[in-house]
Amino acid sequence: MIKRFLLSLLLLPAAAIAAPAASGDIATLRPTDDQAGAAKLVVGLLSDSQYHYKPLPLDDALSQDIFDAFIDSLDGERMFFVKTDIDRFQQYRTTLDDAIKGQTLAPAYDMFSVYLQRVAERTAFARGLLKKDFDFRKDENYRFDREDHPWEPTKLALDDAWRRRVKNDVLRLKLAGKDMAEIRKTLDKRYANFQARVRDLKSDDVFQSLMNAYAGSIEPHTGYMTPRTSENFNISMRLSLEGIGAVLQKEDEHTVIRSIVPGGPAALSGKLAVGDRVVGVAQGETGTAFTDVIGWRIDDVVDLIRGPKGSVVRLDVLPAAAGLDGPHEAIAITRDKVKLEEQAAKKEIVEVGSGASAHRIGVITLPAFYQDFDARRRDEPDYRSATRDVRRLLIELRAERVDGVVMDLRNNGGGSLSEAIELTGLFIPQGPVVQVRSAGGRVKVESDRNPDLAWEGPVAVLVNRASASASEIFAAAIQDYGRGLIIGEPTFGKGTVQNLVDLDVFEPGEEPRYGQLKLTVAQFFRVDGGSTQHKGVVPDIQFPVTLDAEDYGESAYDNALPWTRIRPAEYASFGDLAALTPMLQARHKVRAAKDQEFQWWAEDVAEYRKQRARTTVSLVEQERRTERDAEEARRAERKAQREAAGLAVIDAVDDDGLLASERDLQVELAREKAEEERPDVLLRETAAILADAVDLLAADKKLAARVFPERTGATAAISGSN
């Protein structure tokens, strides 16, 4: 949604910009000439079968879908507009196509202007409610899931919805032990900050949302990015930037240092610390005056701080240790290239079993299939890529004599198609990896042509519902070849290929003007001919499902492409794990039943699914206290069980009723760290399952021969000898 823009960004390279318009000017937003030009290019690309896999004419029928999607981007929770607003907007339902083709775009800005007015009215109403008292004995509830709720017919009806929303906010803080004075102060600031964030939205935000409503109405993975969004995406793919190497976040009116990138200029200078507030920015070592950035949008502050390698930026900083009225410090930092190692592939070793069954299992966690596209096009020898990083980590794990390798692709939403192909090639002999069918029906088999293997030993791939696209290509190939085990829950089900088109190539200029369009250009298919579309990759060993496909996954999109099948590619299987998986499943079931950590995790999943199915919550204080007491008792019992079992005690994170941005930064970082340090029972169990495979195949030569027929050295490979 428009209002959900990022609250923290890395300091990325770009020229300094002018100060943003005063917040009171936001209602005068209107489309720019560059947006009109971008709209023209977008229409041409999305309507042409030479570019898009599923082109649709921009007509009245599509206009209706765009209209609904744009309204949803503004008010998906249906908490700002009333039915009379929607009725007035109906004049645009079948004319948005004409507005986009005619490059006027005025209807979208008209609807956005009304949205701004309604946000101002609603936040004023909510803040007014805080002056009153609430009766928490009254039998009523709050509906927090309003996605499918009808538009409220009148302002009075919406007033009541907001009264319940504010009452719930108050009750949450009350249950967390806050007194009413503190509650009123916290919520008044919360509602005021929300209005300020919406008021700070710019013309580019409106345009990007409109173009995404258009693109997404054709196919869910087609989308538009403004020049700023495009640059951020490119940085996430190349894992490097030129700047000072820090992450910022908004804290009330201030810009605060959330974290500092190790090895970056900010870290090496030793002049900045987490929690420091940046109140002014200037360019160069001397001369230019500081620009006051208090109250600025976070990405506008980022644009001032970032810049090319070798240039100097000066920051006016209020140190974390100082109060708001404390002394300022002027800090000069020379920008440099910063590597984003936190987002790169990482390795660790998990030890499982004991005695003769003790094994060291290497784990490689891959957050995305990244690649520095520009550096590769320039044929730079040291360009950054996921495959190169994983190859290096596999060599290191091989030297450390691990018995197997787990590729952890949980929450990996994909990335570069070529990286998925090349990464698969690290584990299989040369051969087809994925089949790609273009809009014209032509099927191209994409293959790994490098016969060298970086890892010949046992492999498992750990996935979840958020593993998508390139992750599914890799997992499917490993499964189809019988090269390794797929473990976890069914994946997202995205079986389409996207290309990025830089719109500025059509009308080049000195600065980016038009942004980029992400076009769905093909469908991909497994080498066995099946598609991952909707179905995803179904694991060989399944863990309890956290999210249903209808709630999160390709099947949640009404206009997603259907599942289909094509002819299989010609490929030679590495093995057939069908004889092995039932034994592994049986061992997993026995171990999981005895593993208290795994059972607790399964209980938490069941409770999460139960809570997710709810759409309302009681506003009766006693009922809520009873629920809270029951949850606290459950946590206390689990803590006692952990202590009795000699397991590490994990302090539960209580519901304090606050948003992350409302907590003290150090407190929030501590909460995040505690969450990260929770035992990863799924990873440990995946390592144990892979260790089981090693033991079973090493102990039973006939089984090994069935699983890996006609593979010289297969038994040695699966037993971990490398």
- Cβ pair 46, 218 in contact under 8 A: yes
Q: Write the CB contacts of 125 (distance below 8 Å, at least 6 apart in sequence).
A: 159, 162
Supply 682's token pair: 């799924």
Out of 389, 403, 480, 680, the active site residue is 480
User: DSSP string covering 72-90, please?
Assistant: HHHHTT--S--HHHHHHHG
Which residue in the block uniquely carries the two structure tokens 């490097």?
Answer: 240
Q: Which residues contact 145 (CB under 8 A, 6 or more apart)?
A: 614, 615, 616
Contact 349, 397 (CB under 8 A): yes
User: CB neighbours of 362 closer than 8 A, spacing ≥ 6?
Assistant: 347, 348, 349, 350, 394, 397, 400, 402, 404, 405, 406
Burial of 32 (0-12, 13-18, 19+ CB in 10 A): middle
Cα separations in angstroms, 407 against 227, 267, 349, 459, 474: 34, 31, 12, 8, 10
Q: Partners of 405 in the beta sheet?
A: 362, 459
Dihedral, CA atoms, 467, 470, 474, 476, nearest 10 degrees? 70
Six-digit token pair at 180? 């009413």
**Catalytic pick from 209, 259, 469, 573?**
469
Residue listed under structure tokens 């009308």: 507
Choosing from 494, 531, 680, 719, which is the catalytic residue? 494
Q: Are 420 and 474 in contact (CB under 8 A)?
A: yes
Distances (CA, A) of 379 to 243, 376, 382, 383, 447: 24, 5, 9, 8, 21
E strand or H helix at 359, and its extent? strand 359-365
| H helix intervals, 47-154 | 60-75, 83-89, 96-101, 106-129
Contact in structure between 210 and 108 (CB atoms under 8 Å):
yes
CA 253/CA 23 separation, integer angstroms: 13
Q: Is 480 one of the catalytic residues?
A: yes
Phi then psi for residue 454, to 5 deg, are -85, -25
- Whether 494 is catalytic is yes
C-alpha 524/C-alpha 540 separation (Å) is 21
Cβ neighbours for 576, distance < 8 A, ≥ 6 positions apart: 482, 706, 707, 708, 709
CB 487, CB 540: distance < 8 Å: yes
Alpha carbon distance 514, 316 (integer Å)? 33
Instruction: Tell me the CA distances in angstroms from 119 to 79, 113, 493, 525, one per residue in order.
Output: 9, 10, 36, 45
**Enzyme catalytic residues:** 469, 480, 494
